[in-house]
Amino acid sequence: MKKKVLAALLSVAMVATLLAGCGSKSEEPAAAPAPAEEEAEAPAEPAESEEETPADAPAASGDLADKKVGVCIYQFSDNFMTLFRTELENYLISLGFAKENISIQDGQNDQATQTNQIDNFITDEVDVLIINPVNSSSAETITDKVVAAGIPLVYINREPDESEQKRWEENNWDVTYVGCDARQSGTFQGELIADLGLENVDKNGNGKIDYIMIQGDPENVDAQYRTEFSVKALQDAGLEVNELFNQVGNWQQAEAQTLVANALGQFGTDVEVVFCNNDAMALGALQAINEKERKVGEDIFLVGVDALSEALENVLNGTMTGTVFNDHFSQSHNAADAAVNYLNGTGNDHKISCDYVKVTKDNAQEVLDMVK
Ligand code: BGC
C-alpha cells in the first residue's frame, strides 16, 4: 500500500524533475521501497543503474545472518539520521542479518571519535561498512584505511567529492555512495515559493522575493546545493530575488530559531520567505515566526526539506508552506542492498541515486501516512 503511494508520488516527482530539467539525469530512480516491516517478503528493488545487479540479489543471498555490519552515523541526535538509521537497521534485519551482528555507532559530530570507531570496526573484522562521515572531507583517509583492510564500503548521506569518487572508479574499489541529488531538493523548495506567484509573496511590494536562508552544516554538500538551487529556481521562474540574511544553523532546530529571530528582528516585515535547508531548522524558524506573531501563508512563507512528521503536520495546518521528502526509505534500503551486493560479489555502481518528492498541502497527508 505504502509502496504504491510512494511510487505514485515519485512518478509525479519524476515528471516535475524532467520539467525542471535537473536532478539525476543519468540514472533512473530506484523503485520506491516500503518501510522495512512491510518489506520482509518483498525486498526493495535496487537502483536500475546497478546494471550488473540482479533485482532479487538481496533475497537470494545466503548466509547474511553470520555477516557483521558496521554502521557509523555522524550524530545520533540528528532527526533525519535517526529515521535513516532506524529504517536501515530494520531493513538489514528483514534481509536476514542478525541484530547482534549489526553495530551502529554515534560519531557525536566529531571526526576523531568516528575515526576511532572505524578503526575498531576494522580490528573486529566486520564484513561491510556503511558510513555517514562526520566530515565528508575525511572520506579519502577513511576510504584508504577501509580499502586496505579489504572491507567493502557504502557511504551514505554526506557525499564525498568528485575527485574522491573518481578514485573508487579508477581503482575499481568496492566503494559506493548512496544518496539523493540535493540540487533537486533545492529546486523543489524554490518551486514551492515560485508556484505561489509574485503577487502573493511580495508583501512589501518591491517587486522582489525578499528571503532569508538558514543553511545546514557545510560538511554535507546538501547544504550548499539546497541553498544555491532554491534561489536558482526562483530566478529560473523569472523572479527577482533579494537575499536579506544567510547563515549556518548546522541542521539544528534551536540554532535556526535564534538565527530567524535575529533576522526577523533586523529586517521585520521585509522578510517574505524563509528557506531552511532542512525541516528541523524550519521547525525552529516557525517558533521564531510565531514569537514575532507573523503568520505563515499570510505575511511570510516557510519551506524545509526532509518531510519530518511534525513538518508535514505543519504543512497540513498551513503553518509551513511546504517541504521536500528526503526519502530515507529508498536511501537506507539502497545502502543495505549495496552492502549485500558487495557481500555476494555482484558489486555496485560507484553512485546510487534516488529522487526527492515535493510536498504541499495536497500530498502531505499521503507522505505523512507513509513516514509515520
Ligand atoms: C538532511 C538533514 C540532515 C543532514 C545530515 C540532510 O540530507 O536533510 O536533515 O541533518 O542530512 O547530514
pLDDT above 80: residue 289: yes
Letter string b/e over residues 248-264, b meaning 16 or more CB atoms within 10 A of that residue's CB = bbbbbbebbbebbbebb
* C-alpha–C-alpha distance, residues 187 and 227, integer Å: 9
Please state the domain extents for the chain: 2-41+68-181+327-371, 183-325
Comparing CA positions, the residue from 201, 206, 213 lying closest to residue 278 is: 213
Ligand 1 centre from 80 Cα, in Å? 6
Ligand 1 centre from 60 Cα, in Å? 32
Q: Residue 35's pLDDT is what? A: 73
Q: Looking at 15-29, 110-124, 233-247, which range is the least confident one?
A: 15-29
Ligand 1 centre from 222 Cα, in Å? 7
Task: Enter the DSSP assignment of 26.
Answer: S
Helix (H) or strand (E) holding 292: none
Residue 47 grid coordinates: 537502483
In this structure, what are the phi and psi dihedrals at residue 178, rounded to the nearest 5 degrees?
-115, 125
pLDDT above 70: residue 42: no
pLDDT above 60: residue 12: no
Ligand 1 centre from 278 Cα, in Å? 7
Ligand 1 site-directed mutation target among 326, 330, 332, most atoms within 8 Å of CB: 326
- Using the atom order of ligand 1, give the atom closest to the CA of residue 179: 7
What is the secondary structure of 314-338 as a DSSP string? HHHHTSS-BEEE--HHHHHHHHHHH
209 lines ligand 1 (CB under 6 A): no
Q: Residue 9's pLDDT is what? A: 53
User: Tens digits of per-residue pLDDT, 335-358?
Assistant: 999 999 999 999 999 999 999 999
Q: Residue 96's pLDDT is what? A: 97
User: Tens digits of per-residue pLDDT, 219-266?
Assistant: 899 999 999 999 999 999 999 999 999 999 999 999 999 999 999 999
User: Tens digits of per-residue pLDDT, 185-204?
Assistant: 999 999 999 999 999 999 99
Q: Which CATH number fits domain 183-325: 3.30.1360.10, 3.20.20.70, 3.40.50.300, 3.40.50.2300?
A: 3.40.50.2300
327 lines ligand 1 (CB under 6 A): no
pLDDT band at 6 (very low <50, low <70, confident <90, very high): low
pLDDT above 50: residue 367: yes
Ligand 1 centre from 210 Cα, in Å? 25
pLDDT above 50: residue 46: no
Ligand 1 centre from 251 Cα, in Å? 7
User: Tens digits of per-residue pLDDT, 87-116?
Assistant: 999 999 999 999 999 999 999 999 999 999
Q: Residue 37's pLDDT is what? A: 58
Residue type, 329: F
Q: Residue 128's pLDDT is what? A: 98
158 lines ligand 1 (CB under 6 A): yes
Q: Residue 356's pLDDT is what? A: 98
Ligand 1 site-directed mutation target among 181, 306, 329, most atoms within 8 Å of CB: 306
Ligand 1 site-directed mutation target among 80, 177, 283, most atoms within 8 Å of CB: 80
Please, what is the average pLDDT of the chain? 89
220 lines ligand 1 (CB under 6 A): yes
Q: Residue 62's pLDDT is what? A: 57
Residue percentage of the chain with pLDDT more than 90:
83
278 lines ligand 1 (CB under 6 A): yes
pLDDT above 80: residue 20: no
Ligand 1 centre from 250 Cα, in Å? 9
Residue percentage of the chain with pLDDT more than 70:
84
Q: Which CATH number fits domain 2-41+68-181+327-371: 3.40.50.300, 3.20.20.80, 3.40.50.2300, 1.10.10.10?
A: 3.40.50.2300
pLDDT band at 370 (very low <50, low <70, confident <90, very high): very high
Q: Do domains 2-41+68-181+327-371 and 183-325 have the same CATH topology?
A: yes
188 against 14, higher pLDDT = 188
Helix (H) or strand (E) holding 272: none
- Using the atom order of ligand 1, give the atom closest to the CA of residue 220: 12
User: Tens digits of per-residue pLDDT, 200-220?
Assistant: 999 999 999 999 999 999 989
Q: Is residue 192 within 8 Å of residue 234, measured between CB atoms?
A: no
215 lines ligand 1 (CB under 6 A): no
78 lines ligand 1 (CB under 6 A): yes
Residue nearest to atom 11 of ligand 1 (CA): 157
Ordered alpha helix ranges (H), 178-307: 182-194, 198-201, 221-236, 253-267, 279-291
80 lines ligand 1 (CB under 6 A): yes
* C-alpha–C-alpha distance, residues 333 and 138, integer Å: 24
What is the secondary structure of 50-105 as a DSSP string? -TTS-TTHHHH---GGG--EEEEES-TT-HHHHHHHHHHHHHHHHHT--GGGEEEE
Q: 18 to each of 162, 292, 355, how far by Cα in Å?
A: 24, 39, 12
Rounded to an integer, the average pLDDT of 42-49 is 39
222 lines ligand 1 (CB under 6 A): yes
251 lines ligand 1 (CB under 6 A): yes
